[in-house]
Structure 1
Amino acid sequence: MLLAALLPDCPFPLPDLEISGLKLDSRKIATGDAFIAVPGAEVDGRDYIQPAIAAGASVVLADMDQWTHGELEGVPLIGVPNLATEISHIAGRFYQQPDSEIRLIGVTGTNGKTTVSHLVAQLWQALEPTAAVLGTLGSGVLPVLLPETNTTPDAVTVQQRLASFVAEGAKTVAMEVSSHALVQARVEALHFDTLIATNVTRDHLDYHGNMENYVAAKARLFTDFPARVRILNADDALVAAWGNADDHWYSMNSSKIGEKNTLVASDISYTNSGTRMVLHWHEQQISVVSPLLGDFNVANLLAALLSPLASGFSLTFAAALVPQLQSVAGRMETFTAPNKPLVLVDYAHTPDALEQVLLAARRHCSGKLWCVFGCGGDRDRGKRPQMGEVASRLADHAVVTDDNPRTEAPETIIKDIISGMPNGSVYTAMPGRAKAVRETIVNANENDVVVCAGKGHETYQVIGTKVHDYDERALVAEILGGSQ
C-alpha cells in the first residue's frame, strides 16, 4: 500500500513509497516496512529509529507535536501528531478495514471476559460458522488458538489478526477489550457490532492509579464506541450506569423477569456436573442444564446468550445449545480422580474473582474447602490484604503462596496477604507454588475441594526478571494421577 493511503490527513505531499508492513518493534523490521515510533509505558520507540532504519525500514512514522517531514540516513521521517491514537486507524487502512467484513463483538469487564468471549464464539460457531476469538487465551478460529502476549494486542496486531480471521472465513470474532487497550487506543478504529460488559471490581490499580480512572477506562467502550447491540449486567451497579432503556440486559434477579430486553435466570440449582436454571426472555421461559459451574458462570452464560438473542434468534434455538458449551481452560476447570479431592483451577486474581470462585466451590464441597493462592509482585499491593480477608472468610484452610513474585521477595507479598486475615484464621504460609499445590492436594480428603487460584491457563511463573515454565493444570493432573 502507498504511504499516502496510510496517511490521508497529511497536509503535505508524501514520497511515492510502497509499504510492505507495519512494525512497532524495531527488532521485527523487514525490508520495506514502516516503523511506527511512539513512546510506550517502558520504552520510547523513537529511541530505536536508527536500528529500524538499519534493519531495512523504508519510512519512519514518529510521534510529534505536529506534522513534520524530513530524512534520516536517506529514509523519510514523518512526524505525526497524536500518533499513538492514530495507529489503529493506520493499521485498519493497511489491512483493508477487516472489521467491516465480520460481526465484531467486544467484551470488557474485570472478571468473565475470557469465558464470555469463548462462549459467544462457541454459540456463533454453532449458529453461523465460522467464529474466532482474540484474548487472554490466545487468538484464532475455533478451536485452534495461538498464544498472545496481551489480553488485547497492540493496535497493529489487532488489525492484522482480524484480517487473518477474515481470510480464514470467519463471520464472527469475539474479542476481549482490556482497560489498558482502551487507555492506549489499541482498538480506536474498530467498529463493533456488539458490546458486552460483565462487571467492574478492583484490578490494575498499579496502572490506573485509582478506581475512578479504572472505571472510566472500562466505560470508554460504551461511551466512545457506537454499536448495534449493547449488552450489560443489570446486577452490577457500575456497569448498569453505562446503559439506557434501549440496551439489552441480563440478570439473576427474578424481580426483573418480564422487563424489556432482559434475559433472566431463575430457579438456579447446582450439582457437581453443572448448573440447572430457568431462562426467561420476553414471553418465553425454558429450563436448561449448563455444564458450567458457579454463580458467576450463570452470569457469563446469560451475557453470551444475549448476543444471538439480540440478533433475532429465538430462546428455544439458543437454549438448545447450552448443554454443548464448554468451559474455558483454567476457568473453574475441574480435575478429579478416585478417592482424591476435587481440584478446581481458576485464574481468579482479584478479591471479587476469588470470592466468586470460593462461593461457587463451596456449593460443590461436602468436606473441607482449601484455597491455594498468592498475589503478583510489582503490582497493586492494596488488593493483597483484601484477598487474604476473602480467603480466610470463605475457605476452611487458606494456603498462601507465590503467584508471579517478579522482583519482590515472596515472603513480603505473603506477609501483605496475611495482614488482611483476622486473628484466628486458619492458614499456612508456604513459599514455592508447586510445593504448596502438591502438599495441599496430598493432605486434602476425598470429600474436600481444593481451589488453586491465580494461575489458571498460564504456563509460566515470573520470578525475578526470568520467566519459568509452570503449568498448574498439568501439575494438578500429574498429582491426581492423570485423571481429569
Structure 2
Amino acid sequence: MKLQELLQGVEVVSASVPLDMELHEVCYDSRAVGKGDLFVAIRGYATDGHRYIGKALEQGAAAIVCEEAPAGAPAIVVKNARRALAEIAANRFGHPADAMTMIGVTGTNGKTTTTYLVKHMLEEAGHKVGLIGTNQNLIGDEVIETERTTPESYELHALFARMRDAGCTHVIMEVSSHSLVLDRVHGIRFAVGVFTNLTQDHLDFHKTMEEYRKAKAMLFSVCDKGVINLDDAAAPAMLIDAKCPCLTFSCDKDEAGLTAKNIVMRADGVDFLASTMNELARVKLPIPGHFSVENALAALGAVLSCGVTLEDAAKSLATATGVKGRVEVVPTDTNYTVLIDYAHSPDGVENVLKAVRGFAKGRVVALFGCGGDRDRTKRPKMGAIAARLADFCIVTSDNPRTEEPQAIIDDILAGMQGTKTPMQVIANRPEAIHWALDHAKADDVIVLMGKGHETYQEINHVKHHLDEREVIAAYFAQKK
C-alpha cells in the first residue's frame, strides 16, 4: 500500500519521505514493527510512543508518523497522532464502518447487557450483527477474546473489516469514556448512540465527574440519533450537549419518549409495559433486577431507532439470555444461591444488591473488593453501600495490581466503620469464597462482586488465573 493512500484525510504538518513510497503494514507498537512498516507514535495513557521511534527504525520501519520527529528521521509530522492512527486505520481497511450500521453504547453501568440485548433483537429481526465489548467480541456467533472495552483504533478497524467481510449489517459496541477521549473511535459515524447512566468510576483518569460526563457526551456529537436515560441525573446536561435528535427513556417520567409502566419484579426476570407515542407492548425479560428494566429500555430505544417495531422487539426480549458475569447464577445443587456479578463501582454494588434483596428469601451475603491503582475515593463508598444493603459482608481482594491488598481493604473498611452489619476480612479471594460457602445458610444469596466475566487476578502486572466458577466447582468436588 502507498503512503499517500494511508494518509488520506490526515492533517499532515510536514513530511520528509516520498508520499508514493510502498509500505508493508501499519504498527503503533514498536515491538511489532517489521521491515517496510509504517510506525505511528502515539501518546498513550501509560507511555509515549515517541520514546520508541529509534527502536522502530532499528527494526526496519520505513517511515514514522509522529507529532515530534527526531532529526533525520523519515517522518510524517501530524498535529494529532492518535487521530492520525484512527484515520490511517480506516484507510488501511477500506473504511469498513461505513458499510455497516454502527450503534454505540456509553455509560458507567449497563453497557454490556444493553449491547447483548440489542444484538439479540437485531438478529431476531434478521440481521447479522457484530458486537464489541467488555466480555468479548462477536462476529455473529464467532467469539473473539478482548483485552479492553474499546480496542485501539487500529484493532477496531481491523475488527470492523472482519465483520464487514463476514456479512454483518450492524455493529453494536460499548464505547468507553477512555476511547472517546483517546480518539480510539475518532472518525466513526454512529447511526445511534445510547447513554445508560453516569455514576462514579474512572476518576483516576478523568479527575472530576463533570469531565467524565463530558467524555461520555462526546459520543452524541458523532451520532445521527441519540437514546438517553431520562432517569439519570446527568440526562439534562447530556441532552444539552447532544448534537443529534434524541429519544429519551424512563421508568417513571411520562414525558420520556419511551417508558416502562406496570413493572413487576420476579426472581427470574422482570415484566413491564413498554410504551411510545404510537405503540404499546408487554415485555418479559428473563433477567432479574430493576436495572434490567433500564437496560431493556436502552436496548429497545436503540433498535427502535434502527427501524425495528416495538412489538417485534418486545417479543424477541422474551428469549434473551443473561450475560456471563452479570447476575450470573452458579450451579451448586445446594439450598442456597451463588451469583457472580461484575459490580465494581458504588452504583454497581448498590444496583446488584438491591436487585438481589428484591428476591432473596434468606440473607444477602456480599463478597467484594476494590481494584488497585484506581480511584481510591470509591472504596469507602462501596464498603458503606455493601454494609447498608447486605446482611453479611466478606471483604477481599479484586485485582490489587501494584498496591498492597490490605491497604485497599483498609480503605474499604473506613466506609464500614460504625456499621452493625457483621463482616469477615479475608484478603485471599479463593479463601474468601471458600469461607462464604463454608458458612452459607439455607436460602442465602451469596453475591461475588467485581470479577464478573474476568478469569484472572492481577497482581504486580501479572494476571494470575482465577475463575470464580472453577473455585466454586473445585470446592464442591472436594466435598464429595
Category of TM-score, reference length = shorter chain: over 0.9
Following superposition, the deviation at residue 246 of structure 1 comes to 3.9
- Indicate if the aligned counterparts of 2:192 and 2:305 stay in contact, CA closer than 8 A: no
Following superposition, the deviation at residue 306 of structure 1 comes to 1.5
1:251 is aligned to: 250
- 2:435 counterpart of 1:439: yes
1:451 is aligned to: 447
Please give the alpha-carbon distance, in whole angstroms, between the structure 2 residues aligned to 1:43 and 1:241.
33
Following superposition, the deviation at residue 6 of structure 1 comes to 2.1
Q: Gaps spanning 5+ residues in structure 2: where?
A: none
1:5 is aligned to: 5
- 2:390 counterpart of 1:395: yes
TM-score normalised over the length of structure 2: 0.93
Q: Which moves more between the two structures, 320-329 or 48-57?
A: 48-57
Q: Letter of the aligned partner of 1:153 in structure 2? A: P
- Indicate if the aligned counterparts of 1:332 and 1:346 stay in contact, CA closer than 8 A: yes
Task: Say which of 147, 153, 156 aligns to 1:155.
Answer: 153
Task: Say which of 196, 219, 240 aligns to 2:194.
Answer: 196
CA displacement, residues 79-128 of structure 1 (integer Å, 9 cap, x when unaligned) = 22221222211211111111110011111000111111121112112213
Please give the alpha-carbon distance, in whole angstroms, between the structure 2 residues aligned to 1:289 and 1:474.
31
Please give the alpha-carbon distance, in whole angstroms, between the structure 2 residues aligned to 1:452 and 1:209.
28
2:226 is aligned to: 230
- Indicate if the aligned counterparts of 2:117 and 2:317 stay in contact, CA closer than 8 A: no
- 2:41 counterpart of 1:37: yes
Aligned residue runs from structure 1 range 94-133, under 5 A:
94-133=92-131
What SS does the aligned partner of 2:144 have? coil
- Indicate if the aligned counterparts of 1:128 and 1:171 stay in contact, CA closer than 8 A: no
- 2:310 counterpart of 1:311: no
Please give the alpha-carbon distance, in whole angstroms, between the structure 1 residues aligned to 2:217 and 2:283.
32
- 2:60 counterpart of 1:56: yes
What SS does the aligned partner of 1:334 have? strand
Please give the alpha-carbon distance, in whole angstroms, between the structure 1 residues aligned to 2:436 and 2:87.
50
Identity of aligned residues (%): 37
Following superposition, the deviation at residue 401 of structure 1 comes to 0.4
Following superposition, the deviation at residue 182 of structure 1 comes to 1.1
- 2:142 counterpart of 1:138: no
2:265 is aligned to: 270
Following superposition, the deviation at residue 240 of structure 1 comes to 3.8
2:330 is aligned to: 335
Q: Which moves more between the two structures, 471-480 or 165-174?
A: 471-480
TM-score normalised over the length of structure 1: 0.92
What SS does the aligned partner of 1:277 have? strand
Following superposition, the deviation at residue 139 of structure 1 comes to 1.6
Task: Say which of 262, 284, 293 aligns to 1:298.
Answer: 293
1:470 is aligned to: 466
- 2:21 counterpart of 1:22: no
Following superposition, the deviation at residue 478 of structure 1 comes to 4.2
Following superposition, the deviation at residue 157 of structure 1 comes to 1.2
- Indicate if the aligned counterparts of 1:372 and 1:400 stay in contact, CA closer than 8 A: yes
- Indicate if the aligned counterparts of 1:388 and 1:421 stay in contact, CA closer than 8 A: yes
Task: Say which of 355, 361, 386 aligns to 1:360.
Answer: 355
- Indicate if the aligned counterparts of 2:262 and 2:273 stay in contact, CA closer than 8 A: yes
Following superposition, the deviation at residue 481 of structure 1 comes to 5.9
CA displacement, residues 231-256 of structure 1 (integer Å, 9 cap, x when unaligned) = 01010020342226941111111x41
Cα distance change, pair 353–141 in 1 and its aligned pair in 2 (3 A): same
Please give the alpha-carbon distance, in whole angstroms, between the structure 2 residues aligned to 1:470 and 1:277.
37
Q: Which moves more between the two structures, 368-377 or 422-431?
A: 422-431
Q: Which moves more between the two structures, 399-408 or 9-18?
A: 9-18
What SS does the aligned partner of 2:197 have? coil
Q: Gaps spanning 5+ residues in structure 1: where?
A: none
Q: Letter of the aligned partner of 1:467 in structure 2? A: K
Please give the alpha-carbon distance, in whole angstroms, between the structure 1 residues aligned to 2:134 and 2:358.
27
CA displacement, residues 405-464 of structure 1 (integer Å, 9 cap, x when unaligned) = 112111111111011014123211111011111211231123110110000000110122
Could you say what the CA RMSD is over the residues aligned between the two structures, in angstroms?
2.0
What SS does the aligned partner of 2:219 have? helix
Following superposition, the deviation at residue 480 of structure 1 comes to 5.3
Following superposition, the deviation at residue 173 of structure 1 comes to 0.6
Q: Letter of the aligned partner of 2:41 in structure 1? A: A
CA displacement, residues 144-184 of structure 1 (integer Å, 9 cap, x when unaligned) = 22222211111211111111111111111111111111111
Please give the alpha-carbon distance, in whole angstroms, between the structure 2 residues aligned to 1:143 and 1:327.
16
Following superposition, the deviation at residue 402 of structure 1 comes to 0.3
- Indicate if the aligned counterparts of 1:457 and 1:473 stay in contact, CA closer than 8 A: no
Following superposition, the deviation at residue 19 of structure 1 comes to 2.5
Q: Which moves more between the two structures, 330-339 or 112-121?
A: 330-339
Following superposition, the deviation at residue 323 of structure 1 comes to 1.3
Q: Letter of the aligned partner of 1:176 in structure 2? A: E
Please give the alpha-carbon distance, in whole angstroms, between the structure 1 residues aligned to 2:381 and 2:443.
28
What SS does the aligned partner of 1:241 have? helix
Please give the alpha-carbon distance, in whole angstroms, between the structure 2 residues aligned to 1:339 and 1:6.
59
The size of the alignment, in residue pairs, is 470
Please give the alpha-carbon distance, in whole angstroms, between the structure 2 residues aligned to 1:61 and 1:311.
38
What SS does the aligned partner of 1:390 have? helix
- Indicate if the aligned counterparts of 1:430 and 1:436 stay in contact, CA closer than 8 A: yes
- Indicate if the aligned counterparts of 2:283 and 2:317 stay in contact, CA closer than 8 A: yes
What SS does the aligned partner of 1:276 have? strand
CA displacement, residues 336-378 of structure 1 (integer Å, 9 cap, x when unaligned) = 4333311110100000010000000111201000000000111
Q: Letter of the aligned partner of 2:390 in structure 1? A: A
Please give the alpha-carbon distance, in whole angstroms, between the structure 2 residues aligned to 1:139 and 1:30.
27
Q: Letter of the aligned partner of 1:362 in structure 2? A: R
Cα distance change, pair 473–333 in 1 and its aligned pair in 2 (3 A): same
Please give the alpha-carbon distance, in whole angstroms, between the structure 2 residues aligned to 1:219 and 1:81.
24
Q: Letter of the aligned partner of 1:188 in structure 2? A: H
What SS does the aligned partner of 2:143 have? coil
Q: Letter of the aligned partner of 2:181 in structure 1? A: V
Q: Letter of the aligned partner of 2:359 in structure 1? A: H
